Amino acid sequence: MSDISYSPKSARALNIAVCHHCHQLVRGHGRCSRCNTLVHFRKPDSLTRTWAFLIAAIAFFIPANLVPIMNIKMLGQGEPATIMEGVILFIEHGDLPIAIVIFVASVLVPLLKIVALVFLLLSVHFEWARTARRKTILYRIVEFIGRWSMIDIFVVTVLVALVQLDKLASIEVSEGATAFCFVVVLTMVSALCFDTRLIWDIKEESTKGNKR
């Protein structure tokens, strides 16, 4: 038994599946005896689902950055603002740290997240077996920081509720906010559908191949 635990074999090779809710180990697949979840060796249709949500996210990414997310009206004059314009406004006001926070959270993070997920998916498709650990860490970073892009949506929410002074000053939401919201949610769902164990399966296959 102790040699099982130190073998570099994957659990699937030993016919052990892990319940994704309670992490109980199950022989073969079926239902988890503890929490009754349907247990799979790998997340079902992981690649197809990840691609589907990711492509949808990419489609929304373009309007999210080009269409204004809010419309600031001061004394009757409208001034629609996209996310980048908001960042530039902060730089002009000398609030560089805030400009960086907004730029990173709203532009860089969604973009890098999409690029990272495309890279991870391609690496599984084309069976790039190297740097499996680094790819897993990349996935964990994507999973962790993805939610932080919601900052801009919350900023719009607060401003819209606060600045409603009829003709003097008012802030209205604009279509870009909807697109932006979808980008964040879709990339989050896409990341949740991805199964990092697929990366390790390729590594296992390739080391097996080398031994032969």
Distance CA 183, CA 177 (A): 10
Are 198 and 49 in contact by the 8 Å Cβ rule? The answer is no
AA identity, residue 104:
V
Q: Does 3 bind other proteins (CB under 8 A)?
A: no
x/- track of binding to other proteins for residues 39-78 (CB under 8 A):
-----------------------------------x----
Task: Tell me the closest approach of the beta carbon of residue 151 to other proteins, in angstroms.
Answer: 5
Task: Tell me the closest approach of the beta carbon of residue 211 to other proteins, in angstroms.
Answer: 18
Phi, psi for 191 (deg, rounded to 5): -65, -40
Phi, psi for 194 (deg, rounded to 5): -75, 140
Helices (H), 32-102: 46-66, 83-92, 96-102
Q: Which stretch binds other proteins (CB under 8 A): 16-24, 45-53, 55-63, 113-121?
A: 16-24
Nearer to other proteins, 102 or 114 (CB): 102
Helix (H, G, I), strand (E, B) or coil at 111: helix
Residues 134-153 that bind other proteins (CB under 8 A): 136-137, 139-140, 147-148, 150-153
Task: Tell me the closest approach of the beta carbon of residue 110 to other proteins, in angstroms.
Answer: 14
Residues 81-120 that bind other proteins (CB under 8 A): 90, 93, 95, 98, 101-102
AA identity, residue 74:
M
Distance CA 146, CA 132 (A): 21
x/- track of binding to other proteins for residues 192-211 (CB under 8 A):
x---xx-xxx----------
Task: Tell me the closest approach of the beta carbon of residue 185 to other proteins, in angstroms.
Answer: 6
